[in-house]
Amino acid sequence: MLCIAFTFASALFENGLLLHIVFGSIAGGLLTFRLFWGFIGPTHAKFVNFNFSLSDLFYYLTNLFKDRKIYAGHNPAASWATVLLIIFGFFCTISGVLLMGSEEDRGLFSFIPVSYHEIFFQIHVISKNIVGVVALIHIVGAFLEHFWHKTKIINTMIDGYKNLDIPDIKTTFFQKAFGTFAIIVSIFMGVFTLVFPNYSLMSKNTHEVFYHEDNPAFAKQCSECHNLYPPILLPKASWEVVLSDPTEHFRENLSEKVPDFESIKEYIFAHSAESATNEISRKILQSTNGQNIYRITRTGYWKETHAQIPRNAYKHPKIKTKSNCSACHENFGMSNYINDEDITLKYFSFSEALKIYLHLNK
Ligand code: HEC
Ligand code: HEC
């Protein structure tokens, strides 16, 4: 319960991703074990002994304030709440792990292309909304039971006893061992993630491909006149425009300098933003949104990330044009990897760009 609350809370903070994953993985681990517990646990923890009858649920909800019956196991509302929380909590965890892979290029599933991000994101949001709503109803229900029905249910969650005169149920040694194991493993997963983020679900996986090794013709011929633009920086539709006519490439004729045009074109199409696994490509795809944008510098994403650079900075003799990415970004165009966290700027920080701007305006 605490882990789910912390997972929700950490999602509200821009830089709370690590804690979100730490608490999310503890919660996910415990939920997974709870699933098994529903088959091998003691009598009232077993799903077969839950009450899923809809007419009982209806009766329970409509007679909440009249009938104060104490149930030995889960009452009908708690039965439904428990399975819904387990199922959708589980969905949250799985979609979260897949999101880490598709959106952030991290963890086991970092090979998943960014184009799958949207579906995982929707699953994540829908399941977390269901978990949130069911959990709130369940908490209100627990208070109602505890104080109005006088079942002392909140004490029961801790000591296991209810206000009922029925024989005790004993947990077996195996069940105790399993429970202890489940708690230790889940907490260990969370602590491990916190202490070693780079060895866990958080580990960054770049799948770096060096173009001069992967496709020497592309690396050489497409960098004859400008820096090499990694295919992952534009959607396929945009590349189709850029490469539609080799004799009309931004008023240049490519036929001489790019003899392997056809095979390079196929290579670029196959490696466009849709096929990439990194966050930058996803943001570029989102910001172009199917429009026919044929320049990286015209994508909403590029404009946003470069909004703070004064226009005059591009007039600097070492830069000349916005499209001269390698003037500012170290190792630009070498590979499909653009370090989005720690871009090494050759000459620039925002403050330096500002200095150049002031200099140009003297
Ligand atoms: C003969 C010289 C030449 C060659 C060879 C060449 N280009 Fe270009 N390319 C240009 C020019 C000129 C521009 C326009 C630059 C500008 O306006 O700043 C351009 C612009 C681009 C842009 C748009 C950059 C932006 O502003 O976002 C892309 C993408 C591009 N080229 C891809 C390629 C690819 C892929 C190849 C290899 C098939 C290639 N170019 C080969 C001359 C060339
Ligand atoms: C005048 C220098 C300059 C030029 C030219 C330039 N950039 Fe940048 N770029 C920057 C600066 C400064 C940032 C912001 C870095 C930061 O937020 O720490 C940035 C940010 C980025 C980011 C986002 C990193 C992130 O995660 O926030 C990408 C991607 C990027 N540039 C790609 C390009 C590409 C592609 C080109 C060429 C079409 C290009 N840049 C041209 C200076 C430049």
Q: Are 272 and 236 in contact (CB under 8 A)?
A: yes
User: How large is the C-alpha radius of gyration of the chain?
Assistant: 29
Query: What confidence score (pLDDT) does residue 356 get?
Result: 59
Q: Which ligand is nearest to the CA of 245?
A: 1
Measured distance CA(81)–CA(302) in Å, rounded = 46
The residue count of the chain comes to 362
pLDDT of residue 342: 42
Vertex 151 angle, CA 147 and 152, to 5°:
70
Contact 277, 112 (CB under 8 A): yes
The tens place of each residue's pLDDT in the chain, 362 residues long, gives 999 999 999 999 877 888 999 999 999 999 999 999 999 999 999 999 999 999 999 999 999 888 888 888 899 999 999 999 999 999 999 999 999 888 777 888 888 887 788 899 999 999 999 999 999 999 999 999 888 888 888 898 888 888 888 888 889 999 999 999 999 999 999 999 888 877 766 676 666 788 999 999 999 999 999 999 999 999 999 999 999 999 999 989 998 999 999 999 999 999 999 888 777 888 898 888 877 788 999 999 999 988 878 787 788 777 889 998 888 777 788 887 765 444 444 445 566 666 655 555 54
Residue 296 Cβ < 6 Å to ligand 1 = yes
Ligand 2 atom 9: residue of nearest CA: 306
Largest CA distance in the chain: 92
Q: Model's pTM, two decimal places?
A: 0.64
- 212 Cβ closer than 6 Å to some ligand 1 atom: no
Instruction: Assess whether the C-beta atom of 322 lies below 6 angstroms from ligand 2.
Output: yes
Ligand 2 pocket member 297 (CB < 6 A): yes
Measured distance between the N- and C-terminal CA atoms of the chain, rounded to whole angstroms: 62
Among 299, 241, 307, 308, residue whose Cα is nearest residue 268:
241
Residues ≥6 apart with Cβ < 8 Å to 69: 149
Specify the residue with its C-alpha closest to ligand 2, atom 43.
Answer: 328
Q: With a 6 A CB cut-off, is 36 part of the ligand 1 pocket?
A: no
pLDDT at 87: 95
Q: Which residues of 189-225 are buried (b: 16+ CB within 10 A; e: fewer)?
A: bbeebbeebeebbbeebeeeeebeeebebbbbbbeee
The pLDDT of residue 164 is: 82
Regarding the beta carbon of 258 and ligand 1, being less than 6 Å apart is answered yes
What distance in Å separates the CA atoms of residue 185 and residue 324, rounded to the nearest whole number? 51
Tokens of 357: 């701007």
Burial class (CB in 10 A: 0-12, 13-18, 19+), 307: exposed
CA of 22 to the centre of ligand 2 (A): 31
Half-sphere exposure of 215 (CA within 13 A, CB side): 22
How buried is residue 184: exposed, middle or buried, by Cβ count under 10 Å (0-12/13-18/19+)? exposed
| CATH code at 2-199 | 1.20.950
Nearest CA to ligand 2 atom 11: 306
Return d(Cα 83, Cα 22) in angstroms, integer: 23
Distance between CA 27 and CA 90 in Å, rounded?
Answer: 9
Which residue is listed with tokens 């790019």?
A: 258
131 lines ligand 2 (CB under 6 A): no
Residue minimizing CA distance to atom 17 of ligand 2? 305
Residue 324 Cα: closest atom of ligand 1: 18
Cα–Cα distance for residue pair 17/11, rounded to 1 Å: 7
CA of 15 to the centre of ligand 1 (A): 37
CA of 104 from ligand 1 middle (Å) equals 29
Name which of 219, 232, 216, 222 is nearest 254 in CA terms.
222
The residues spanned by each domain of the chain are 2-199, 212-360
C-alpha 350 – ligand 2 centre gap (Å): 11
Ligand 2 pocket member 327 (CB < 6 A): yes
The per-residue pLDDT for 354 is 61
**What integer pLDDT is reported at residue 196 of this predicted model?**
84
Find the 300 Cα to ligand 2 centroid distance in Å.
13
Nearest CA to ligand 1 atom 14: 250
Given the CA of residue 347, which atom of ligand 2 is nearest to it?
2
Q: Which residue has the tokens 């608490």?
A: 23
